[in-house]
Each structure stands twice: as structure tokens, then as C-alpha cells.
Amino acid sequence: MPRVDADLKLDFKDVLLRPKRSSLKSRSEVDLTRTFTFLNSKQTYTGIPIIVANMDTVGTFEMAVVMAKHAMFTAIHKHYSLEEWKLFAANHPECLEHVAASSGSGKDDLDKLTSILKAIPPIRYICLDVANGYSEHFVTFVKSVRALFPNHTIMAGNVVTGEMVEELLLSGADIIKVGIGPGSVCTTRIKTGVGYPQLSAVIECADSAHGLKGHIISDGGCSCPGDVAKAFGAGADFVMLGGMFAGHDQCAGEIIEKNGKKVKLFYGMSSDTAMKKHAGGVAEYRASEGRTVEVPYKGDVELTILDILGGLRSTCTYVGAAKLKELSRRTTFIRVTQQHSQGMELNVGCGGPCKCEELGRRSLCLLLEKRFPCQCACIFLSAREKGLGKSKNQGSN
């Protein structure tokens, strides 16, 4: 018999953080670094726990170089060759403690991962990434990777429920990736009907992981710095971002000029684009579960990083957290019906299409390139204003 879980599950858009009394005088007083000792590898990590997703448009060596300067992390996509890895390691040895080598669960994937880790011993992190982390095959694969690399820190996923977090941790993983379908270019929920609202998934999975002294990554669903703060507030140890880092110089792909605007392509790793590029097309037995979008070109990623970190520091000052470590303990979520005023809406950091184009009023769009180079900031008419405009036109007839 089908079962219905009637408990309400929430996403980032459904809540805000309640401000609390704070003794902090400035955002500069906030410490965003975290130190973790991992469950199975016993390794210690220190850094700012934001990770660039292992997607081939954003999880690049070029991105890793900039991220490492901020003690931030990059999960390098799995499609680089061994020779490319060797060249990166030779030119940027200082970055190796801030990157993970990614792999799928196939034999060829494991063989390639093994060759990379043997050739470049300073790489300490492994990212085992599959769309469905619930398969027994994946659990067995995690166990085999742990047996081969007992001292490496293993990230594994994706899952969205506490029991599977526990299963993967007990199978040898150290950090569990949480998220099915929340990504900006993921269509899994549409194609399959499977998923879990990201905020609730993070809260529940963090509770299960921390009970075993494991850790989790909130993977997907963040479209602005406020969402990153909510993920940390919900208990995530790390937050993985894809779309927020798309469109920059450090991303793969050429800059395309279209209708006088510069854009770069960003696509899900289960999209037609990705499968044609890496697998020769979409196999007959499966469906594409991703989409391809044109993201406004944003220049250097450095300013985007600063904007995210600045927003996160500001969150901490609002709730009285002197350290990122304290944020979840200082967090109280309040349920809301809207995030901000809808009179004049600001489309911040979404990586989506300009809202003005939807209304046929592209001239209203203000690209705040100097202040917000990492964001598409579009000011557009509200529904109410559109209605007034129609009434005015009708009156003149």
C-alpha cells in the first residue's frame, strides 16, 4: 500500500532566519573557518566549508586556484585526464589540499580515480557522485573505495534521508552529499517525481550524521547568499554550489555573444548536453534529468566569492554568531509566505533569465556590474503595476 507522510517539509524559500541579540560590532569579527576531524579517514580539515560542485562547467582547475586562495574547496569534475591532473598538481601544489578527485561508480571510473590518486599522493579527498545514492551497488562501491584508500576522506551521495546517511557513513564514507533534485539545472523531480525539500533534508540528515560523528554537504538549491546561510543554519557542515558559480571566467566554455549580451552555458550533468559530450548521447533506457541554460557572463569569480562570504558574515552578525560553527545553534527558522516585498522585485544571483524579458520591458533591467558583478539584478514591474498599465491604455482608447 502507498504511504503518505503528512509532515510538512520545507525548502529554503519557505523560511527566514529570526534575528537575535548580538554583541558583535562588525561583520569583520565573524570567523567563517571550520575545523573537522572525519569519522573514517581520521583526517583533519580546516577552511571555509563552501564547495564548488563537481560539474564540468564549474568544477574546474581554474576555479580551484581562486577558491584555494580563500581556503575554500573545489570538487574537480571527473572528466579531466590523468595528464591534465599531473600538470595541475605540478603548477599549483598549494591547491591540492583544497580539492577532491571525483568519480562515478563504474569500473572505468574507479580505475581512473586510482591512477590519479597514486600519481598525485597529496590529493586527500575523494568525491563519489551518483544521482541515486540509494542503490546497493553504490553502498558496495563505497566500501570498496574505503578498502582501497583507508586514509582518504570520502564524500559520497546523493541521498536525502537519515537512514541512508547512516548507511553510507557506516560503509566508509566521511561526508554525505544531501540533495535530490534541488539544483537549478536539475530536472529529476520533474522527470521522476522523486525528491525532498532541501531545508528539511538538511535538518534531518545532519541530525543522523552528527549522531555518528559524521558530516554532511548540502548540495543544491542555493540561489543567493541567504540560502547558503540557511543551509549552514539547518546544520550542514559544508555547502556545495553550482549555479551561483556559473558564468565566470574560471568556468569551462566559451563566452557567447547573443543579442548584444555575453553569456556562458551551464548545464546539469544528466542533461542532453552533458551526455552528448561525455557519453555519446542519451541511452534509450534513460531520460535526461537536467537542462542547459545560458547564464549571464559575470567576469572573475573573485567578487562572487566575496559577496557570498560577506552575506554569510552578515547573517552571523544578525543572529549573534561570532563563528560559523555557532550559526546552527543560534538559528531559529520562521515560516513565511514570501521572502521580500513584491512591489519592486530584485532577481539576485539566480542565474536565471531576466524577468524584464518575460514582461517585454528589458529596458528596465539594471545590471549592477560594479556593486554586484556576481548577480543578475533585474528590477521589473510588479503584477499590480502591469495591471495599472493596462487600465491606462484601455482608458486612452
Question: Residue 299 annotated as binding?
Answer: no
| Helices and strands (H, E) in the chain, number of each type | 12, 17
| Residue 316 known to bind ligand | yes
- For the chain, state the CA radius of gyration: 21
Q: Mark out the alpha helices in the chain (DSSP H runs).
A: 61-69, 82-91, 107-119, 136-148, 162-170, 188-192, 198-211, 225-233, 272-279, 302-319, 355-358, 383-396
Give which of 126, 130, 148 is closest to 76, Cα–Cα: 126
Q: Are 330 and 323 in contact (CB under 8 A)?
A: no
Beta strand 44-47 with 34-37 is antiparallel
| 189 labelled binding-site residue | yes
| Half-sphere exposure (Cβ direction) of 264: Cα atoms closer than 13 Å | 22
269 annotated as ligand-binding: yes
287 appears as a binding residue in the annotation: yes
Q: Is 26 annotated as a binding residue?
A: yes
Fill in the amino acid letter for 391.
Answer: S
The verdict on whether residue 78 carries a ligand-binding annotation is yes
Report the catalytic residues: 186, 188
Closest C-alpha among 227, 245, 249 to residue 236: 227
131 is in an annotated binding site: yes
289 is in an annotated binding site: yes
Q: Is 281 annotated as a binding residue?
A: no
315 is known to lie in a ligand binding site = yes
| 8 Å CB contact between 375 and 307 | yes
Is 129 annotated as belonging to a binding site? yes
Grid cell in block for residue 227 = 540560502
Q: Is 273 annotated as a binding residue?
A: no
Question: Is 270 labeled as ligand-binding?
Answer: yes
DSSP letter for each residue of 345-356: EE--S--S--HH
Give the C-alpha separation, 137 to 124, whole Å: 24
Residue 130 annotated in ligand binding: yes
How many Å apart are CA 126 and CA 131, to the nearest integer?
Answer: 16
Question: Would you say 47 is a known binding-site residue?
Answer: no
Consult the annotation and say whether 290 binds a ligand: yes
Query: Does the annotation flag 242 for ligand binding?
Result: yes
Dihedral angle at the C-alpha atoms of 234, 350, 324, 26, nearest 10 degrees?
-130
Helix, strand and coil in the chain, % to nearest 5? 35, 20, 45
Which residue carries 563504474 as its cell?
Answer: 106
Residue 221 is labelled as binding a ligand: yes
Binding residues for GMP: 219-221, 242-243, 268-270, 286-290
Binding residues for NADP(+): 26-27, 78, 129-131, 180-181, 269, 285-286, 314-317
Binding residues: 26-27, 78, 129-131, 180-181, 183, 186, 189, 219-221, 242-243, 268-270, 285-290, 314-317
Binding residues for K(+): 181, 183, 186, 189
